[in-house]
Amino acid sequence: MTPEALYCLERFDGHLGNERRLADLTRQHYRRDLQALVDWCDTHALTHWGALDSHHIRQFVAHGHRRGLAGRSLQRRLAALRTFFRYLVREGLLSSDPAADVPAPKTGKRLPRTLDADAVARLLDGLDPGDDPLLIRDLALFELLYSSGLRLGEAASLDLDGLDLNEGAVRVTGKGARTRILPVGRRARERLGQWLCQRRQLAAPAQQALFVSQRGGRLARRSIEDRLTRLAAGVLGQPVSPHMLRHSFASHLLESSGDLRAVQELLGHANIGTTQVYTHLDFQHLAEVYDAAHPRARKRGPGRGTD
């Protein structure tokens, strides 16, 4: 690709960061997907964006499929291309989007993994922190993830001024730099109060992070994941991720309330379609109850007559 074409990528990355205010991780995904397109164009002697048409985009997607990319990854890659080309059209650098009419490969729906309420209770109540400040911190963090449905990044980036234990609320900044205020449950407030007493001993001077490491700095995302995975394996015999606690929060709340819009607001989803996956989880639960309880659904044992 020409230097001018590559400069368009730099401008687009600035657009994602400054105008759309996307998270750094999301921008990294865009850069990775678009770099794959640049590499493919270089091998096919395509030097500028205007040289691409829908036939080229189909070839590029097929190339990814042959290299073993799953349907979900190809869908994400195609979405990145469309966003980029729409930006070029908006800036007057392209007359049309060559990816607009290219269909995304179909992929089966993958439901998020969740824990049932009993498993969550065993995890959060099955650890005795004693006087261990790190375990007190971990339990406060895990309770907050489940109590308020936070994303991992939202929890890791929380500062002291984002938590109000008196009001029972936490203020987080999520995707698209959208801020929302969430309720914090009684048990989470208790754990957080215990952690704040211990935090003074660990936090470095002027450190504003709510959750800090043993060295006094902000607790890293990877450390949160590792601690939760290891502790859950010891209590439940299975690894648990922070996102599983968020999914469990949403599933249990929807199961109890049936209020999809409220769950959408609490999760910070811009599109309710993203939240609707939890209706499938709720239906799965109802179907299991039905299969176990309905007289026409229960399996009959040998020799049993009809109703």
**Domain span at residue 160?**
117-243
pLDDT at position 34? 96
Q: Both tokens of residue 51?
A: 């040289």
Residue 179 has pLDDT above 50, yes or no: yes
Active-site option among 48, 58, 243, 285: 243
Torsion of CA 281, 282, 284, 285, to 10 degrees: 120
- 51 DSSP assignment: G
Tell me: do 121 and 220 sit in the same domain.
yes
Indicate which residue of 56, 218, 247, 269 is catalytic: 269
Question: Where would I find the H helices in the chain?
Answer: 3-14, 24-43, 54-66, 71-90, 117-125, 133-148, 152-156, 186-202, 221-236, 242-257, 260-267, 272-275, 277-293
Q: What is the structure's pLDDT at 255?
A: 75
- pLDDT per position as a tens digit, 223-241: 999 999 999 999 999 989 9
One domain, residues 168 and 220: yes
In this structure, are 122 and 238 located in the same domain?
Answer: yes
Domain final residue, candidates 38, 73, 90: 90
Instruction: Round to whole Å and give the CA distance between 295 and 204.
Output: 62
What's the confidence (pLDDT) of residue 275? 64
Asked whether residue 105 is domain-assigned, the answer is: no
CATH number of 74's domain: 1.10.150
Verify that 143 and 184 share a domain, yes or no: yes
pLDDT band at 194 (very low <50, low <70, confident <90, very high): very high
> CA-based angle 135:233:115, to the nearest 5?
95
135 and 42 in a common domain:
no
One-letter amino acid at 222 equals R
What's the pLDDT at 192? 97
Residues 54 and 155 in one domain: no
The answer to the question of residue 163 being in a domain is: yes
- How does the average pLDDT of the chain come out, rounded? 85
Residues 121 and 213 in one domain: yes
Q: What is the pTM of this model?
A: 0.60
* 278 classed as catalytic: yes
Compare 232 and 109 and report the one with higher pLDDT: 232
Q: What was the pLDDT predicted at 306?
A: 38
Q: Active-site residue 175, yes or no?
A: yes
Residues 62 and 159 in one domain: no
Residue 160 CA to its chain's centroid (Å): 23
Using alpha carbons, select from 113, 60, 65 the residue that is nearest to residue 82: 60
Tell me, yes or no, whether 291 lies in a domain. Answer: no
- pLDDT, residue 296, reads 46
Residue 186 annotated in active site: no
243 flagged as catalytic: yes
Tally of structural domains, the chain: 2
Flag whether 264 is in a domain: no
The enclosing domain of 171 has a CATH number of 1.10.443.10
